[in-house]
Structure 1
């Protein structure tokens, strides 16, 4: 089954613990106010990929310990994501995944694909971005309502260390001169950074 994605990078140091691959899915049914990535909302504007191609890239990338999946909204493509993520976990990689839906709402939906994805996660982060609750006191999340579930022993030790983990960003300059930024920072700083990079 095909996936609609916005981007995929094989190695990042800012999208969760350790070195990880990162997959941004395309398409979002939640569309939070003041979202930092509204370009990921429209599913039709994504790139269509065969998950087996992503699995080959993961297998060929040394040094990564897991993959982080965000969006867009991953649960909107649960049927396509679940078999892909099952194979990711079977390979020994860890899984960190973000959803704008709460864990309770997902489980109460009765969708076995969505429930299966949650069950696979080492770290599951839930809840929509809420502009009025904007906070960068914790790593990886942008508002105080969002919850970080450490669901396995693999990263359980980080639960008491969140206050020591800083949000970071990466700036990537491709061979064609295009510039991409990933990571977590306040939107105002992100826009300022983007303006500055545009002057290079």
Structure 2
């Protein structure tokens, strides 16, 4: 599987109801693998290219389209533009079958880099993106911002189908209890070094935290 494979995706996680990574309720997909490295990445388990699980694009599209009460899909990771061909194929299917849905994509690459140096698959993927949240996470610039973790990261409204919100404060974190001993959180931590401190505090109480957070790198 390579970045030019249009039929297979390597993903880290999936969630049918995410409320903290884009407007409204959304399907969340975290791709596996990132060629970038950022100090204190909030999801280091998504970085290895060999991790996660492999799914066909058609299989994942069917799974996503089985969800009916969402406004769209958010693609995070990992780095979505490292699997641009397959992600683009997925979004082409969704745009055709669910035309009212919107797409949010996170990337550690800046939009300038993608436009000037990206390949044709990355350029094509941008065409299916309504809101691109770009840029590397910088701990020194950490800020409690809407859907992003540091002030260098930007919201690019590319299609006009998602409107800018007047409130640029943190969207908070989404918490869910799984089983009897794990707590899942989804979103962009409003404070730096959130994950290690939170997981340590939970471990002291006999719980395990499962993260689907968002901090990008370059």
TM-score (norm 1): 0.90
Contact 1:10–1:57 at 8 Å: present in 2 too? no
- C-alpha change, 1:176 and 1:117, in structure 2 (3 Å) is farther
Residue of structure 2 aligned with 1:119, choices 121, 127, 136? 127
- C-alpha change, 1:153 and 1:43, in structure 2 (3 Å) is same
- C-alpha change, 1:142 and 1:110, in structure 2 (3 Å) is closer
Give the RMSD, CA atoms, in angstroms.
1.7
TM-score (norm 2): 0.83
1:184 aligns with 2:188: yes
Cα distance in 2 for residues equivalent to 1:76 and 1:32: 16
Runs of at least 5 residues in structure 2 that lack an aligned partner in the other structure: 1-6, 208-218
Q: Equivalent residues in 2 for 1:49-88 (5 A)?
A: 49-88=55-94
Residue of structure 1 aligned with 2:148, choices 141, 145, 152? 141
Residue 215 of structure 2 is matched in structure 1 by none
Helix, strand or coil: the match of 2:159?
Answer: coil
Contact 1:171–1:182 at 8 Å: present in 2 too? yes
1:98 aligns with 2:100: no
Cα distance in 2 for residues equivalent to 1:78 and 1:117: 6
Residue 170 of structure 2 is matched in structure 1 by 166
Higher strand proportion (structure 1 or 2) = 2
Contact 2:46–2:52 at 8 Å: present in 1 too? yes
Cα distance in 2 for residues equivalent to 1:188 and 1:157: 28
- C-alpha change, 1:188 and 1:132, in structure 2 (3 Å) is closer
Q: How many residues align?
A: 196
Higher helix proportion (structure 1 or 2) = 1
Q: Which moved more, 1:59-68 or 1:127-136?
A: 127-136
Cα distance in 1 for residues equivalent to 2:35 and 2:150: 19
After superposition, the C-alpha distances for 1:71-127 in whole angstroms (9 at most, x for unaligned) are 111111111111111112222221000111111111112511101111211101111
Superposed displacement of residue 187, structure 1: 3.9
Larger relative contact order (Cα-Cα within 8 Å, sequence gap ≥ 6):
2
After superposition, the C-alpha distances for 1:24-67 in whole angstroms (9 at most, x for unaligned) are 11111111112111111101111111122221122211210100
Residue 13 of structure 1 is matched in structure 2 by 19
**Structure 1 runs (4+) greater than 6 angstroms displaced:** none
Cα distance in 1 for residues equivalent to 2:54 and 2:172: 29
Superposed displacement of residue 167, structure 1: 2.2
